Structure 1
Amino acid sequence: MSESPESARQPEHPESASEPTQPTRPVTPGTQASFGTYGGRPVSFVRRGTRLQGRRQQAWEEHSDRWAVDVPRHIANTSVHPDYVFDAEAEFGRKAPLIVEVGSGLGDAVCHAAEENPGSDFLAVEVYTPGLANTMIKINGRKLTNVRVVEANAPEVLATMLPPGSVSELWVFFPDPWHKSRHHKRRLIQPEFAALAATALKPGGLFRVATDWSNYAVHVRDVLAASPDFTNLHDGERRGPESPLTQVWQSGVESLVGGAPVKEGRAPVSTEHTGPNEGVDETGGWAPRFEGRIRTSFENKAHEAGRLIFDLCYRRV
């Protein structure tokens, strides 16, 4: 919710999760907009700055008409009017599998995947405007025709913008972990989001998630295990000593290393963000690393900090 961030990490920022504007359209009862802006419901971000400068500004001016989906707004500049429906076949000029990445960040993962998979179409969902501009620079520089970007709140994209059953794969790579217990409710992947993902995905479609924090990995595993709409493609795999969760617990790396590599000459600082340590993970369910995900600079930093990457892959029932 992605770097996303994340980057793909969904950008972490103290600003409000939305920037309300005066409504230009009627507010439809029951939509997220009818609850204020997002009414406390999970959103795909905490809003980062939107200012564009230099080549990013130039890229936006030159390429947004071609590569950015122009969606009608509701009462926020990242909302999507519930009457709008994305027509992928018309947008891309063909009928092809549609892969959606939530939290596409600077576009490294989605553009690499699009380059490697010319037979599929890709939609990058992000609210960090400079990140979208960077993505368009990559799209144009690599002469890609199978990527579009949209500046929008992901739950609304899944709920109303995308036709039900139209998505072949949904990717959420390195969403904002919201470490503190009182902030867990802000995590993107919640039961409500799982239901929206199931609606957008076609039967048999894949939901791929990756995170570098064990506590969030367990959270995602629990949420999707409770969902009647998904089945874990790697149920029971990589458990016990082979589990990356067991390895994290036994090493204690997350309790000592923060969000960035420890600099030479400095002592590691406790994060206190690891969650309960059960010693051995007897549940498992971890997927092997998704080969279709390029290792970005963000993921490299996680490795440098000593953290492990948790991959999860679910099939829409």
Structure 2
Amino acid sequence: MNEVPQKFHRQPYSFVRRGDRLTARRQNAWDTYSPTHVLEVPRELTDTSVAAGASFDQERVYGRRAPLVVEIGSGLGEAVVSAASQHPENDYLAVEVYTPGIADLLLKMGQAGVENVRCVQANAPEVLDHLLPEDGVDELWVFFPDPWHKKRHHKRRLVSPDFAAKAARVLKPGGLWRLATDWEEYALVMREVLEASADFENVFPGAGATEADPEGGWSPRWEGRILTSFERKAGEAGRRAHDLTYRRV
């Protein structure tokens, strides 16, 4: 058996790949749109990696220069396709590893007739490290990342001091990082990470403070984040979304 290179284990992945089998509708959307709307990137070790030296030429990819919004973990594409439809003046890049999710995004994109969305099937930290240019992103979204709620899995959580440094590298000064989670304990961790970072300031300092949580800093629900099926199910299960908004300083 071939030994897995040691550096493969240096950073735990924040995701688990699920089955990549596509329904007929998703397969048709993939065949139609992936050649033009899913970016080809150089790989290293795995099919979700991004090799050092990869490049992202926004003007070539979108055919113009416009504000760039990047969503990490786009899921089924509900949020990014809705935003792209409402704001054709922006460019949107969806980062996702799950093939059926990207296919569903492409299906929604085609149905909505939007042309300002592109996807990259890759591990998010490597996208921030190797693909996106420094100071090139106007907004970064991380909505409902896997909470990895078991303590032994906390090291897999996406939002960490190391990831915050990567986010700061690609965000323009003044750019916004919008986050949301329905897992309260993870929300507190997110806030702790961002408050400790010298690269970010809370857009809503002290907001939402209570006797039980005097620190506050929670954002009002951003109207640009549509209610997805995932968030709706979380609400039905009694889990409330917590929003945070930070600005790159």
C-alpha RMSD of matched pairs (Å): 1.6
CA gap of 1:92–1:44, structure 2 versus 1, over 3 A, is farther
Runs of 4+ in 1 over 4 A off after TM superposition: none
Report Cα offsets for 1:145-189 as digits up to 9, x if no partner.
Answer: 100011000001011100000000000000001111111111000
Report Cα offsets for 1:32-71 as digits up to 9, x if no partner.
Answer: x97432x241434221222223121222122111111111
Q: 2:7 aligns with which of 14, 26, 36?
A: 36
CA contact (8 A) 1:48 1:127 kept: no
Does 2:241 match 1:309?
Answer: yes
- Equivalenced residues, count: 248
For 2:233 and 2:159, the matched residues in 1 are separated by 23
Report Cα offsets for 1:179-219 as digits up to 9, x if no partner.
Answer: 11111111000110000000010000000000001100000
Show structure 1 runs of 5+ residues with no match.
Answer: 1-20, 23-32, 242-279
CA contact (8 A) 1:74 1:80 kept: yes
- The DSSP-based 3-state class of the residue aligned with 1:36 is helix
CA gap of 1:42–1:164, structure 2 versus 1, over 3 A, is farther
Report Cα offsets for 1:218-275 as digits up to 9, x if no partner.
Answer: 000011111110011111111015xxxxxxxxxxxxxxxxxxxxxxxxxxxxxxxxxx
For 2:236 and 2:113, the matched residues in 1 are separated by 32
Q: Tell me which residue corresponds to 1:190.
A: 160
Report Cα offsets for 1:100-122 as digits up to 9, x if no partner.
Answer: 00000000000000001110000
Report Cα offsets for 1:273-304 as digits up to 9, x if no partner.
Answer: xxxxxxx1111000000110110111111111
CA contact (8 A) 1:56 1:130 kept: yes
Larger radius of gyration: 1
Counterparts of 1:169-208 in structure 2, within 5 Å, are 169-208=139-178
Question: What TM-score do you get using the length of structure 1 for normalisation?
Answer: 0.76
Show structure 2 runs of 5+ residues with no match.
Answer: none
Does 2:67 match 1:97?
Answer: yes
Counterparts of 1:121-160 in structure 2, within 5 Å, are 121-160=91-130
Q: Tell me which residue corresponds to 2:43.
A: 73
Question: What TM-score do you get using the length of structure 2 for normalisation?
Answer: 0.96
Counterparts of 1:1-317 in structure 2, within 5 Å, are 35-37=6-8, 39-240=9-210, 280-317=212-249
